A and B are shown apart, each in its own frame.
Chain A
């Protein structure tokens, strides 16, 4: 598929602008929230801010480079990416390299870098299933499901329920953009629900998580502590919020303040009005992604853009859902805002790809 130079468009500035906005919000909130903890733990107030900045620059540079590349590149390396992702996911179970944190094996340690292989897997899944969707003849459904089961299975072993759901959602979105039939989509849905039920009811850990969700007051000092503190954080925000910098929950009351729960602190400082604005802007961001997908010149572009948009959208939703205590907490960072290098670099790269697709919007 050759690209007509005449079809080159300017990149989607809306997407760029909104992404930048969220990165900025993230930096501000991280600075706001982590000051005390950073000082206490590392003797440097700006410890977390500095690291996030480094990742922003790294990720941003990658995004810049990637946005100028032809997106068909990703189809070519789809298989490799997918396999590497699987491989790294296996690595977490190795004693030396795999890192256990909070009872889950999600991290790999390469000397001075900690890296979450699930992030690479997200890209791998997107590339791979986008490529599959682009085939003349679709693979039989069961084959695709097996391919999906591989990373999902490994992820569930960690355990990381949230990312498993995310991958399934992304695949569903790719199938949707790729025009998959209803049968395929429903099968996926049903299977996921069944799997979900099995998993929830079989593990006491997950059942408790669910209890914590249903009622933050179930065990406020114990099992539903995080949900309880979230509720308090949100409540403290009220309509207008406490004002920037005035969060009280950030003083070690709300766990994961810089990562999973950071959006709750936005709600505390800027109130319901603030968080509504935030959510609307996120909505717009996702809208840009969908628009880029719709206007992509070819099928691969559509599904690739659709998959990436789904990644951003669902990751955000899962995080927001947990913050609003609609979904269980799953350790999923909010795109661009939460502290964390793996997620930030992956998402910025993915955004770069989106931008690259946007430059080739079909004129029809």
Chain B
């Protein structure tokens, strides 16, 4: 009988040790595992002129343990609400105080006051020596330049687990590099939290987040933002954007759009403001698209700058549709150069007819439309071009003057840059290099994505564009000693399948100095009230900026 009992016991032991052994051993291990994480500071984002655009700071929250408080709750509230309210205004302080008192009416002994306060405020409160006060630390992002380049930069929120997560722009695109790696110390401890010295020990060094240096310069960005904002206000536009690239390297020298938001307070703004419209939103570009189609036609040898338009004496009829010029003035037998200078829609229809469907679609692709530019910002949209069998004659006509096709501002700008840099399609790049405290991790080199046209073609079209600026409707915005090659654009906005009668998106795109361009810039205004025309709205803004740039760069 004794043996039976023994066997029962052995059997049970077998169960625990062998059958369940692995599982239980794992539980036992977890029980004594002590994991300590060392926080990795997030990387700093610097402008090209080495100023931090986005950096880190510590924010604090106040914890109150009532039994240890040396003063009454009311006294506490009275003492700290002026500091929290950050104002001398009695009413504001009152409001803060009464809101704060709510915390103390829950009956709980241990409370967290949900105010994010700075290090200075924390110090002041600490020095009051009120007892029962404790501070919780949190790393937050800090923006020394406030909202500058907000949508470019993006913001840092939390992911599902409550860890910091970058969203949009650079914070989103470079989240992994910026995050670094927290340090890990894994050891074994007893139930009282004391380390078991003979136990396992795994140590992983903390890697701080890597820093980014951008091509963006504060001064340029400042000029851009200031003038753009002024322009939107002056012309009563709903919104607007502007982007400056180095046409030879694709480096993003400036990028602004309004309305924007403050990344430090992102949750207080509408979600629609977060995506950067320059990379995330498509629009029908309108007349600024014309030089690209023209370049394609010249490259294919279908037209030359001197070629005469044979259908420009009146509106063009394509099927059920009629294409008119913007001012309903017609220029029979105008040259291609004049077509550009006049921004003649009918002339462009002629060009598109010479090119033909196959070429048009081919060059759309060559110029990078229908693909991402691969700019290093998270929310770049991929806008597809309709497949060939969905293009009808009217579409081929309208695309020649930039309607019926959806592009992002960045796609447009870099396609246009091919005219400025001798025919290359560059990849736009915001970040110049990624670096750690000790070394450069990665230096970005300019990337060429394609060669849509030859240098000769680029030069010919550039010449047309110089002419457009000099002789076109924008002649009153010229700048002394700066030769600008550019194009105005006034695009109708498609709403529910047809074009709105009044609303437009106006643009001006151009580069200067025309023969050896230092920059290419696009400025657009959405639904300006003052006038529907690009020449009267976007162009002046463009030239205001360009003038300041001229002085800054001493061109």
Judged by a CB distance under 8 angstroms, whether B495 is at the interface is no
Task: Please determine whether A234 and B8 come into contact, CB atoms closer than 8 angstroms.
Answer: no
Task: Please determine whether B28 and A233 come into contact, CB atoms closer than 8 angstroms.
Answer: yes
Q: Kindly identify, within residues 164 to 197 of chain B, every residue whose CB is under 8 Å from any CB belonging to chain A.
A: 188, 190-192, 196
Task: Please determine whether B12 and A235 come into contact, CB atoms closer than 8 angstroms.
Answer: no
Q: Which residue of B lies closest to A237 (CB)?
A: B17
> When chains A and B are docked, how far (Å) is the Cα of A140 from the Cα of B332?
139
- Nearest CB of chain A from residue B444's CB, rounded to whole Å: 50
B32 in complex: contacting residue of A234, A248, A276, A282, CB < 8 Å: A248
Judged by a CB distance under 8 angstroms, whether B16 is at the interface is yes
> When chains A and B are docked, how far (Å) is the Cα of A272 from the Cα of B16?
9
Q: Which residue of A lies closest to B195 (CB)?
A: A251
Task: Please determine whether A320 and B9 come into contact, CB atoms closer than 8 angstroms.
Answer: yes
A252 in complex: contacting residue of B6, B14, B191, B199, CB < 8 Å: B191
> When chains A and B are docked, how far (Å) is the Cα of A321 from the Cα of B22?
21
- Nearest CB of chain A from residue B1's CB, rounded to whole Å: 9
Q: If A248-B199, A275-B17 touch, does A235 touch B28 (CB 8 Å cutoff)?
A: yes
Judged by a CB distance under 8 angstroms, whether A313 is at the interface is yes
Judged by a CB distance under 8 angstroms, whether B27 is at the interface is yes
In the complex, chain A residues whose CB is within 8 Å of the CB of B31: 232, 253
Tally of chain A residues near chain B (CB < 8 A)? 31
In the complex, chain A residues whose CB is within 8 Å of the CB of B17: 234-235, 237-239, 267, 271-272, 275
B21 in complex: contacting residue of A237, A286, A324, A326, CB < 8 Å: A237
Listed residue (A249, A272, A321) with the most chain B CB atoms within 10 angstroms of its CB: A272
A251 in complex: contacting residue of B3, B27, B32, CB < 8 Å: B32
- Nearest CB of chain A from residue B538's CB, rounded to whole Å: 69
> When chains A and B are docked, how far (Å) is the Cα of A235 from the Cα of B16?
6
Q: If A267-B17, A272-B17 touch, does A236 touch B3 (CB 8 Å cutoff)?
A: no
Q: If A252-B191, A272-B13 touch, does A235 touch B20 (CB 8 Å cutoff)?
A: yes
> When chains A and B are docked, how far (Å) is the Cα of A235 from the Cα of B21?
4
Q: Kindly identify, within residues 297 to 313 of chain A, every residue whose CB is under 8 Å from any CB belonging to chain B.
A: 313
> When chains A and B are docked, how far (Å) is the Cα of A103 from the Cα of B191?
23
In the complex, chain B residues whose CB is within 8 Å of the CB of A42: none
B2 in complex: contacting residue of A249, A272, A286, CB < 8 Å: A286
Judged by a CB distance under 8 angstroms, whether A166 is at the interface is no
Task: Please determine whether B190 and A238 come into contact, CB atoms closer than 8 angstroms.
Answer: no
In the complex, chain A residues whose CB is within 8 Å of the CB of B191: 252-253
> When chains A and B are docked, how far (Å) is the Cα of A137 from the Cα of B111?
80
- Nearest CB of chain A from residue B21's CB, rounded to whole Å: 4
> When chains A and B are docked, how far (Å) is the Cα of A253 from the Cα of B190?
7
In the complex, chain B residues whose CB is within 8 Å of the CB of A156: none
- Nearest CB of chain B from residue A237's CB, rounded to whole Å: 5
Task: Please determine whether A235 and B13 come into contact, CB atoms closer than 8 angstroms.
Answer: no
Judged by a CB distance under 8 angstroms, whether A283 is at the interface is yes
In the complex, chain B residues whose CB is within 8 Å of the CB of A232: 24-25, 27-28, 31
Q: If A232-B24, A286-B2 touch, does A326 touch B18 (CB 8 Å cutoff)?
A: no
Task: Please determine whether A239 and B21 come into contact, CB atoms closer than 8 angstroms.
Answer: yes
Tally of chain B residues near chain A (CB < 8 A)? 31
Judged by a CB distance under 8 angstroms, whether B318 is at the interface is no
B28 in complex: contacting residue of A236, A252, A282, CB < 8 Å: A236
Task: Please determine whether B190 and A234 come into contact, CB atoms closer than 8 angstroms.
Answer: no
> When chains A and B are docked, how far (Å) is the Cα of A248 from the Cα of B195?
11
In the complex, chain B residues whose CB is within 8 Å of the CB of A54: none
> When chains A and B are docked, how far (Å) is the Cα of A275 from the Cα of B10?
9
In the complex, chain B residues whose CB is within 8 Å of the CB of A324: 9, 12-13, 16
> When chains A and B are docked, how far (Å) is the Cα of A286 from the Cα of B456?
106
Judged by a CB distance under 8 angstroms, whether B23 is at the interface is yes
Judged by a CB distance under 8 angstroms, whether B496 is at the interface is no
Q: Kindly identify, within residues 30 to 46 of chain B, every residue whose CB is under 8 Å from any CB belonging to chain A.
A: 31-32
Judged by a CB distance under 8 angstroms, whether A279 is at the interface is yes
Judged by a CB distance under 8 angstroms, whether A38 is at the interface is no
Q: If A238-B18, A248-B188 touch, does A253 touch B32 (CB 8 Å cutoff)?
A: yes
In the complex, chain B residues whose CB is within 8 Å of the CB of A231: 16, 20, 24
In the complex, chain A residues whose CB is within 8 Å of the CB of B202: none
Judged by a CB distance under 8 angstroms, whether A292 is at the interface is no
**What is the 8 Å Cβ interface bit string for chain A, positions 237-269, against chain B (1 contact, 0 not)?**
111000000101101110000000000000100
In the complex, chain A residues whose CB is within 8 Å of the CB of B12: 324-326
In the complex, chain A residues whose CB is within 8 Å of the CB of B23: 235
Q: If A231-B20, A248-B188, A276-B10 touch, does A236 touch B25 (CB 8 Å cutoff)?
A: yes
Task: Please determine whether A251 and B13 come into contact, CB atoms closer than 8 angstroms.
Answer: no
Q: Which residue of B lies closest to A317 (CB)?
A: B5
**What is the 8 Å Cβ interface bit string for chain B, positions 450-487, against chain A (1 contact, 0 not)?**
00000000000000000000000000000000000000
- Nearest CB of chain A from residue B443's CB, rounded to whole Å: 49
Q: Kindly identify, within residues 317 to 338 of chain A, every residue whose CB is under 8 Å from any CB belonging to chain B.
A: 317, 320-321, 324-326
Task: Please determine whether A248 and B8 come into contact, CB atoms closer than 8 angstroms.
Answer: no
Q: Which residue of A lies closest to B200 (CB)?
A: A248
Q: Which residue of A lies closest to B26 (CB)?
A: A235
- Nearest CB of chain A from residue B353's CB, rounded to whole Å: 81
Q: Which 5 A-B pairs have the closest CB atoms?
A: A235-B24, A232-B28, A234-B16, A324-B12, A272-B17
Which residues of A line the B interface, CB within 8 A?
231-239, 246, 248-249, 251-253, 267, 271-272, 275-276, 279, 282-283, 286, 313, 317, 320-321, 324-326
19 contacts between A and B (CB under 8 A): A232-B24, A232-B25, A233-B28, A234-B17, A234-B24, A235-B22, A235-B23, A236-B21, A237-B17, A239-B21, A248-B28, A248-B196, A248-B199, A251-B196, A252-B190, A321-B9, A324-B9, A325-B12, A325-B16
